[in-house]
Every structure is written in structure tokens, then in C-alpha cells.
Amino acid sequence: MTHSTRFLDAGGPRAGLGNGVGKYSSRADADQVAAIALVDRLLEVETRVQQLAVANFKLRREAKAAGANVSTAGAFFDVPKTIFEWKLAENEALSADDLGLYDVRCDDDAVMAGRAGQVFMDEFGLLGEAPDYHGAIRAINAIKTGLGAVDRLPDVSIVIPIYGQLSYTLNCIHSLRLHKSRFTAEIIIVDDASPDESAEYLPNVTCIRYHRQKKNGGFIESCNAGGRISNGRFIIMLNNDTRVVSGWLDEMIGSFELWPNAGLVGSKLHYSDGTLQEAGGIIWRDGSAWNYGRNDDPNRPQYSYARQVDYISGCSIALPAALWRELDGFDTHYHPAYCEDADLALRVKAAGREVWMQPLSRIVHYEGKTSGTDTASGAKAYQVINTKKMFVRWREALAVHRRNAEAPFLERERGVRKRFLVVDVTAPTPDQDAGSVQTFMALQSCQGLGYKAHFVPEDNWLFQPKYISALQRLGVDCAYAPYELGFESYMRRYGWQFDVIMVYRAGVMEKVLPVARSLAPQSVLLFHVADLHYLRLERTAALTGDEDVLAAAALMKEREFALVAAVDCTITHSSAEQEILAQEAPGCPVVLWPLMAEYYGTSAPFQERRDLCFLGGYRHTPNIDAVIYFVREVLPLIKAEIPDIRFVIAGAHAPDEVRALASDDVIVAGMIGDLRDLFDPCRVFVCPLRVGAGAKGKVVSALSYGIPVVSTSVGVEGAGLTDGETVLVADTPADFAAATVRLYRDQHLWGRLSQAGQNLVRDTLSHGRGGEILSHAIEIAFASKLGLPAPVAQAA
């Protein structure tokens, strides 16, 4: 799998905040102004919190009312519809910038694409009695960037078969020319002897390859003709009555990178008002088919994550060109049109490949503009005939499908045999904290074991487009407001499905445990401690001498070990914490799951690097303490030896006390768009943590990028790292400074540690190894639940 978990945004402060004292006549005046400003900010925060509370209450009330108005008798087999406001779709005066946090929907971009198409067609009167085709073509040709008009072999060939409907064809081409993608593409228009003015106008469009058939041969022959003259590594079949939505091409072709065995990937289809036309197709036992979700709210979670499906309607599908040619394109058995797309999907599967619906690849489909929608006459009548043909051909394969309309909620992904639920406070934010990187990779690991992965927040049900979409892209079924709200409500509806439930953090597990045991009694329960919180509190108390913190640590220890005793298996990333758990909770199953990391490596040589760096999320107080301690007590000792050295502090949510450290020699960089931009220019990664618990993801990330590490004992605790072999370890300011200076100057030592760290990540901290350990943890959990001895782990 080539998917990266680096969802990182550039930005953040680059320098410290000035104190502004010179603007006022006295320090007292400055303090007074600062105090007033602080009060104003607090009032703004309080107001926003109240607004969010009101919105949350409203959503809960709507969900309850909607649930009372529908029959739930069939909820075991399907999910009853609930109707929620979709502000952007319902109010044309609104833009995305006008939406509140709870008003954002995953398919808002489809609404905007529909509006853009309407604007384009209105501007040139394309749906009127006197369309300005010349003006529309001039506008298209004036677009300087976008898809089409490539001067080398393209990544993708977009084949658009047409039969009349020039206005819609121009609308489609307009959207492609405006489309931004990391892939190059040629646009091939195959004109099936259109009876309108298409042959007169389309050759004047500079960004396309125009091919006119000698005679009208039907949809299938036009598509196959386009495939034969295509040059791309991938072929996309795209109807002319469509408009592509932002991200359409990247998400569709990028999916072949996510799933190497994918043979066909298709889009999520919308009507021009945003309403759902199809989120994957279902083929029933009799050969009839459904556009799953038709006319429903497309933003519902069940329509919004990637999944394997029976077929995708052929108006937006992609295949590797080699496979398209191997299968000889659409089968002329279904001449002139209809059912060829479903048949192609079944042939892709028969060839041992997979068919995926990628909902982040979206199109607006103005359905039926060429052949209409009446199945009793015209070309559309072939739909009825060809359905019978397809049944005869595939009746043996379809025998395992359900009968028409029976349990579509299950039929939409009939291949699912086991389900894995992950619960955390909120959706993982891999660009902000190392723990989220591990959660993200854990979801990938359970998918690798053949589970369908689900993610549910215990607290924050807000739809967060960036983070939830990142999971949906991979096929994780995520719950979010307003469609789901509240863990108990969610489990009442879906709890019966799950085989395994893994919960992060003690505070979350305390709330989840009784609900999971009651509403999902068949599941095994895994407690992922993330790190032992009591241990972090104990160390903080030892550092500060705070008796209240020490008392809180004792209480937290009691709570955490009560949870360890109540679940089926506990998971930790730290070997040190594994030993503590073995001593404090004898007999309770515990599995060590080392931190996972994607291996990135480096080609940046020692001599081209300079400076030191640290990476962390600053909502985590140990990271704040670490950088303040380093700047005040360690960095001056280093600068005494290397005067021009600088320290780069990277990571999200730096508070005022961290930003105040900024100077010419201390760069507070904020979030970094690509970790390589942090790690490759710097020579040494420092991890001066004095408190904390658990294994540290930031250290593993640094090793993955080949930058050697100097750390305290706390920073490398439990991660399987050895002083002098994979890292350097020092705990006093003087020792830490000396180790850093030594590593900074010694190219041989630097190269040895860099290579050792990369080898460790590549060989022992991979996804595959993580999946093996997770599988063992699940096996132990089932044995524990059934009162059997724990199975012995197999050697890696």
C-alpha cells in the first residue's frame, strides 16, 4: 500500500510574539490593554462554545424526532432514512464560506459543480433556443490549464462517447478543462454519427481528440472505438451528460495505488442539485440492478466510504488500459447499449480483480440526456432485453446474491464477513499528533486482516472533512453528525455487526465499556491504552513536587487497571509498560504492539544538512515542557560549541509560551506540509522529553526519514531502541548537549545511526508486522472471552 499518513498543512507562526511595550506610556498600560484583550478573547470563546452546544442540542433533537417518524422494524437489514437539512443544496444564495461547522457536508463540492454547470450553460444559452456554441468553445479554448491537450503520452485517456446533445458535451469538456489533477489526461470524443451540429463545432475545441464514427453503431461500439485509439495507462469511460467535481480524477486513479488488485474503479454519481443518483450498484439474483441510494441524501455515512461493489454505472469508470484490452472492452453481446457496464464488472471479477466505488471521485450526471429514461421505447428499451441476457450469462455467479430488494444495506457489500470497530475521542488527526498516526495505521492493519473497518468518535461527532475523508478514501466506515450522534444510539443500531471493538484511552473506555458489553455482547473488547496516563502523572509530580498531581496519579492508576481487568485484551506500544502491566495486573492478557511507521528513507547527505529539530503536538503538555527545557537549559550549551546552530520547533497548536521562545536561533515553524521538509534539511532530531509515558511516535517518524536522534530515556522508553546503536540517550543538560554536538559533528556516527534507524523501521515496524500482532491480540481476546488459555504467538 502506498498510501501516506502525512496529512500535514504548512503554516504557523515563524517568529515570537513581540511584547508591544513600546506602544504604551507605561508597563501598567500595556498590562491593562493585554488584560482587556484576553477578556475579549475569552468572551469570544465562551460565545462560540455556547453556539456549538446549541447546535449539538438541535442535532440530537432532530435525530430523535426523525427516528420516531420511521419504522425500525427492518433496521437489522437496512438503515431507515432520516432527513436532515443540507443548507448548501437548499439555499442557492449560500457559499461554502457561509457554512457553520455543523452545516458542512461531505458532498458540498457536488452542489458547487452543479451550480458551475448551470452558470456555464446559462452564460451561452446552451439549453435555450439559440445556443451560442461559438462563445462556449471560445471560453473553453481560453482555459490555459486543466485536462486535455498533452504533449506526451498521458497517464489517462478519457473517452467520451456522444450522440447529439452538443450542449451537454461542451459542459462536460468545460469541467474537464477547469479540472486540476496530478495526472495528465487526453480527452477523446467519439461521435457516433450525431444528427446535430456536433461534427461542425467540436473539431474547433483545441483540447480534445475528435473521432467521428462512419455510421451510427451505438454506445458500446463508440466506447470500444475510443478505447482502441487511446494512449493512456488508464482508460476512463465518461458520459457526455456529466460534469466532473473537484478531486474526481485524482481520487479515481489514485485508488489503483491504494488497492493494487483493483481492476475497475467508479465514481459516486449525483444529480445536478447534489441529490444521490448512485453510490455503487447492486446486482440481484435475477440479474436486475439497483443504483444504491438513488434519490437519497448522498452525505449519509453508508454512501460515503470506498467499498467493493457489484458494479458501477458506466458513466464514470476507470480501468487499467491493459485490462480493458484484455477483456476486449464492453461486450457487443449487449449491442447497442445497457447492462454492458454490469457485465464488464462481473468479467473484471471473474478475472480475479476487484471492483471499487470511490465516493471521493464524484460527478454530476444529467441522467438520460441521450437515450431518455423510458424503458418502453427507444434505445432505453434495450435495458429490459439486456437484463435478461445478463441473467442467462451470469445466473450461476448470481445465485449467491439476494433476491430483488432484499436487505440492500447488506447486499451493497456482500463480501464483508467480519467487522472491526475502532473508538477514540475524535477522528484521528495524523498531521497533528503521533498517536493519531498509529490509530490511522491500526485501521489499515485491521483492513489488511480482512475486516471491514469502522470508526466512531466517543465525543466529537463533528464531520471534519479533511480527517474523516482521509479514512473514507481508504474504505473506513465513519460515523458523524447529524446522521449519527451519540455512542449508545449508534450501538443500538449497529452493535450487532461487530466482531472486534478496539477502544483507545482510559477515559473513552470507561464510557464505552458498559455500552459495548450490553449492545455488542458477541464482540471481543480490546483496550488500547495509548500510554499509561497514571505513569505520566507520576513523573510530572516527581518533577514538580505537586502533591495534587501525585494524588491524581494514584486515582488514575486505580481506574486504568480496573479497565485492564474488565476487557478481553490490553494493547500497549511500550515494552516498559508491558512489564508494568504484567506486574500490576497478573493474569490479564496484554499484547505489545510496537509503533508502526511507513518507511520513507532519505537521500539528503550529512554535509548538506544543518540545525536541530523537534516535532510534537502542543496540546500534549510534555511536549511543551520538552521544548522549553531544551531552549533554556540545553541549547545554550550546544551553541557554546556550535554558535550558528538553530533549533526548529515544529508541530500543531503551539501555545504562547512556546511561540515566545522564537528568536533568530529558535524557529517556531508550526505545522509542516510534508515531514520531509522538516527532516531532510536538519541534521539531528532531539527528543528532550522529561515526562510522559508510552512509546514515542515522533522518534520513530524521525528514524523513518533517516535523521538520527538524541533523546532522553523517557523519549525512547519501551520502543526497542538501543543507546549507541539506533539512537543516543542522555538525561542531564550537559550530557544531552555533548551527545548532540558529537552526533552533529561526526559524519561516520551520523551515517551509522541514520542507516540503523531506517533498517529498524523498514524491517520491524511495518504494516505487515503490525497486522500480525493485531491478529494475535484478537486471538488472545477471543480465548480470554471464552475462558481458554492464551495462544502462543508465532515467531515473526
pLDDT, tens only, 561-607: 999 999 999 998 888 888 888 888 998 999 988 777 778 888 899 99
Q: Stretch 15-35: mean pLDDT, rounded?
A: 45
Separation between Cα atoms, residue 437 and residue 652, nearest integer Å: 14
Give me the pLDDT at residue 21, please: 32
Q: Could you tell me which residues come within 8 angstroms of residue 149 by beta carbon, excluding any fewer than 6 positions away?
A: 206, 207, 208
**Quick one: what percent of the chain has pLDDT higher than 70?**
86
Q: Which helix (H) or strand (E) holds 765?
A: none
Separation between Cα atoms, residue 713 and residue 742, nearest integer Å: 18
* CB atoms inside a 10 Å sphere around CB 795: 4
pLDDT tops 50 at residue 721 = yes
Amino acid present at 292: Y
Q: Which residues of 268-297 are buried (b: 16+ CB within 10 A; e: fewer)?
A: bbbbbebbbbbbbbbbbbebbbbbbbeebb
Sign of CA dihedral 762, 766, 772, 777: positive
All three cell numbers of 369, joined, read 440526456
Give me the pLDDT at residue 52, please: 57
Q: Stretch 72-82: mean pLDDT, rounded?
A: 51
Amino acid present at 637: L
H helix runs in 230-374, sequence order: 248-258, 321-326, 340-350
- CA dist 760 → 351, 530, 599, 720 (Å): 38, 21, 10, 9
Q: Is the peptide bond before 482 cis (omega within 30 degrees of 0)?
A: yes
If you write DSSP's letter for every residue of 456-494 in order, what string do you get?
A: EESS-----HHHHHHHHHHT-EE--TTT---HHHHHHHH
* CB atoms inside a 10 Å sphere around CB 205: 22
State how beta strands 477-478 and 452-457 pair: parallel
Give me the pLDDT at residue 599, please: 80
All three cell numbers of 772, joined, read 500480525
User: What is the torsion angle, in degrees rounded to the nearest 10, for the CA atoms of residue 246, residue 252, residue 254 and residue 260?
Assistant: 170
Q: Stretch 76-99: mean pLDDT, rounded?
A: 83
Helices 434-448 & 767-785 angle (0-180, nearest 10): 70
Cα atoms found within 13 Å of the Cα of residue 608, Cβ hemisphere only:
7
Give me the pLDDT at residue 541, please: 82
Q: Could you tell me which residues come within 8 angstroms of residue 479 by beta carbon, excluding any fewer than 6 positions away?
A: 301, 454, 455, 456, 457, 461, 490
Q: Which residue has better confidence, 299 or 70?
A: 299
All three cell numbers of 315, joined, read 458513466
Least confident of 20-34, 248-262, 593-607: 20-34
pLDDT tops 60 at residue 769 = yes
Q: Which residues of 720-730 are buried (b: 16+ CB within 10 A; e: fewer)?
A: bbeeeebbbbb
**Per-residue confidence band for 223, with pLDDT thresholds at 50, 70 and 90:** very high
pLDDT tops 80 at residue 15 = no
Give me the pLDDT at residue 326, please: 97
Residues 487-505: tens digit of each pLDDT = 999 999 999 999 999 999 8
**Per-residue confidence band for 461, with pLDDT thresholds at 50, 70 and 90:** very high
Give me the pLDDT at residue 291, please: 94
Give me the pLDDT at residue 795, please: 45
Average pLDDT, the chain: 87
**In this structure, what are the phi and psi dihedrals at residue 285, rounded to the nearest 5 degrees?**
-60, -30
Domains of the chain (ranges; CATH) run 108-406 (3.90.550.10), 419-592 (3.40.50.2000), 606-765 (3.40.50.2000)
**Per-residue confidence band for 647, with pLDDT thresholds at 50, 70 and 90:** very high
Least confident of 28-37, 217-226, 583-592, 688-697: 28-37
Q: pTM value?
A: 0.80
Residues 518-568: tens digit of each pLDDT = 999 999 999 998 778 888 787 778 878 888 888 988 898 889 999 999 999
All three cell numbers of 487, joined, read 455512542
Separation between Cα atoms, residue 460 and residue 458, nearest integer Å: 7
Residues 104-127: tens digit of each pLDDT = 999 999 999 999 999 999 999 999
Cα atoms found within 13 Å of the Cα of residue 524, Cβ hemisphere only:
22
All three cell numbers of 432, joined, read 497533528
Contact 487, 423 (CB under 8 A): yes
Q: Which helix (H) or strand (E) holds 269?
A: strand 262-270
Give me the pLDDT at residue 697, please: 77
pLDDT tops 50 at residue 688 = yes
Q: Which residue has better confidence, 575 or 54?
A: 575
All three cell numbers of 642, joined, read 556550535
Exposed/middle/buried for 188, CB within 10 Å: 0-12, 13-18, 19+? buried
pLDDT tops 70 at residue 69 = no
pLDDT tops 70 at residue 301 = yes
pLDDT tops 90 at residue 714 = no
Give me the pLDDT at residue 535, please: 81
Contact 569, 781 (CB under 8 A): yes
Least confident of 31-35, 142-146, 240-244, 482-486: 31-35
DSSP classification of residue 793: P
Separation between Cα atoms, residue 502 and residue 439, nearest integer Å: 10
Separation between Cα atoms, residue 783 and residue 395, nearest integer Å: 41
Q: Which residue has better confidence, 702 or 793?
A: 702
Q: Stretch 392-397: mean pLDDT, rounded?
A: 95
Closest CA to 270 of 249, 301, 248: 248
Give me the pLDDT at residue 12, please: 35
